[in-house]
Amino acid sequence: MIEAMQAAPEWQVTRWFNTPAPITLASLRGRVVVVEAFQMLCPGCVSHGLPQAQRVRQAFPAEAVAVIGLHTVFEHHEAMTPVALEAFLHEYRIGFPVGVDMPSADGPIPRTMRVYGLRGTPTLLLIDRRGRLRHHHFGQVEDLALGAQIAMLMGEQQA
C-alpha cells in the first residue's frame, strides 16, 4: 500500500469515459483529487461509493476538487467489460470522468489497483494538491469526515 505523504503513482488507464481526452494525475496538480475506485457490479459501490462521489462533485467547486472514477475490475472480468461500463454509467447518470484500470498481464488485479495496494471496492483515495496520497478509505467513509478531509486538503498550500 502506498504510504501517506508519498507521491501518488500515475494511474494506468486503457479507456476513458465522460471526458474528451485522457486525464493524467499529473495534470490535476493544484487540485485535491478524489478517486473513487469501483466495480459496476459491486453493491456497496452502487449504493454508497458512487452516490457519495457524485455528492462530492456537487458540493465542491471543480476548480478546487477533481472527482475521478476508476473502474478497477478484479473479478467477473467477462461481465464488467468497457461496453457494459458505458451502459452502466449512462443508466446511473454518472457524469464525472471514469477511467478503466489497465488489466495486468499476470493476474486478475488490474495495474493501478495493484500499485496502490487497494484491498477491494469501493475504495476512496484522497490526493493532495501536491500530488501526494493522503487518505485511503476502503469500504465506507462518512460524509462528515470526508467533507472535513477534503476541506483540510483544500486549505493547504500547493507548493
Vertex 115, ends 111 and 27: CA angle to 5°? 85
Pick from 47, 139, 140, 158 the residue near a copy of itself by CB under 8 A. 47
Farthest-apart Cα atoms in the chain, separation: 44
- Nearer to a copy of itself by Cβ, of 8 and 89: the residue is 89
Query: What are φ and ψ of residue 131, in 5° steps?
Result: 85, 15
For the chain, state the CA radius of gyration.
14
Binding of residue 28 to a copy of itself (CB under 8 A): no
Binding of residue 61 to a copy of itself (CB under 8 A): no
Binding of residue 20 to a copy of itself (CB under 8 A): no
Beta bridge partners of 38: 71
For a copy of itself, the binding residues (CB under 8 A) are: 41-43, 46-47, 55-56, 59-60, 75-76, 78-81, 83-84, 86-88, 90-92, 142-152, 154-155
